[in-house]
């Protein structure tokens, strides 16, 4: 009679498999978070470079601060102005500073149609921070609302004895404030993304832990036990019982094999 027994650590393998799957999932999250951080840092650099470039171009090559013309201060000049809003800036080659501040002189501005008829443009005070491009310092001082496009006589009076080459620039001021605000908002958002991605990456690395590969137990040879004329075969790790052992025991019982022959056959089976 042959008896076969097999033992498998199913629960242990299932737990290892679940732990391995969980660790693999968190590892993937950590990789994605790291990639997001790298991408966000690239965007930070591009935003900084792009904002600086836009600011420089807005004040130099693409500047329209004097696109409609200039008027010396004091002085009178006829300019062709479009309908709508026009920015008027004061510019000088020598800034008057007091504690690092730029001061513009008190000015009296008058804008009338050159033809002598028609509605006069509306002048309102509108100051802005000063900016220096090259040797010229300038700041917006007025806004002009022009009712109709046409030629207008511009007259300005002021004491500019402390300034070099003072003049009024008629055009459109660059959107410096808007560029700065958009840049700060973008940089703030990207830095927040970097911080959150770092938190997620650290959490994912902690949850993933060290990489554990599932262990496969080595195969265990079957154990054959001979008891008198009977035989018991225990198979582990899925090993199949060996029927020849039972056959040899039966031949011993029938007298076909002697004790010496049976012992020899038993030794062969155990050694194989």
SS (H, E, C) 230-258: EEEEECCCCCCCCHHHHHHHHHHHHCCCC
Please say whether the structural domain 64-173 has been given the CATH code 1.10.3470: no
CB 199 within 8 A of CB 95: no
pLDDT reported for residue 243 = 56
pLDDT reported for residue 1 = 40
**Whole-angstrom Cα distance, residue 207 to residue 28?**
11
pLDDT reported for residue 5 = 39
pLDDT in 10s for each residue of the chain, 272 residues? 434 334 444 445 555 555 455 556 667 777 887 788 788 788 778 777 776 666 666 555 446 888 899 999 999 999 999 999 999 999 998 655 544 567 899 999 999 999 988 899 999 999 888 888 778 888 999 999 999 999 999 999 999 988 999 999 999 876 655 566 677 777 788 788 888 888 887 877 777 666 555 555 555 555 555 454 444 544 444 444 455 555 666 665 666 667 777 777 777 777 65
Domains of the chain by residue range: 10-57+180-208, 64-173, 223-271
pTM of the full structure: 0.48
CB atoms within 10 A of CB 168: 25
Among the listed residues 226, 239, 232, the one whose alpha carbon sits nearest the alpha carbon of residue 267: 226
pLDDT reported for residue 260 = 77
Among the listed residues 198, 235, 205, the one whose alpha carbon sits nearest the alpha carbon of residue 220: 235
């Amino acid at each position: 009679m042959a008896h076969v027994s097999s033992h498998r650590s199913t629960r242990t393998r299932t737990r290892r498999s679940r732990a391995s799957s969980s660790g693999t999932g968190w590892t993937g999250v950590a990789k994605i978070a790291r990639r997001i951080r790298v991408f966000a840092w690239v965007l930070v650099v591009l935003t900084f470079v792009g904002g600086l470039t836009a600011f420089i171009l807005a004040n130099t090559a693409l500047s329209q601060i004097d696109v409609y013309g200039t008027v010396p201060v004091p002085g009178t000049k006829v300019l062709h102005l479009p309908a709508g809003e026009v920015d008027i800036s004061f510019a000088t080659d020598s800034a008057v500073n007091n504690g690092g501040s730029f001061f513009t002189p008190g000015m009296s501005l008058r804008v009338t149609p050159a033809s002598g008829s028609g509605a006069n443009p509306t002048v309102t005070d509108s100051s802005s921070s000063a900016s220096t491009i090259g040797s010229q310092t300038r700041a917006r001082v007025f806004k002009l609302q022009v009712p109709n496009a046409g030629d207008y006589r511009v007259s300005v009076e002021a004491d500019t004895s402390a300034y070099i080459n003072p003049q009024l620039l008629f055009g459109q001021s660059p959107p410096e404030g808007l560029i700065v605000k958009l840049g700060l908002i973008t940089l703030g958002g990207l830095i927040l993304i970097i911080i959150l991605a770092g938190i997620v990456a650290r959490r994912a690395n902690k949850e993933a832990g060290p990489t554990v590969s599932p262990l496969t137990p080595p195969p265990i040879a079957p154990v054959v036990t001979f008891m008198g004329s009977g035989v018991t075969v225990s198979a582990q790790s899925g090993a199949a019982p060996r029927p020849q052992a039972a056959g040899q025991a039966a031949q011993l019982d029938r007298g076909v094999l002697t004790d010496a022959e049976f012992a020899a056959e038993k030794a062969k089976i155990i050694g194989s």
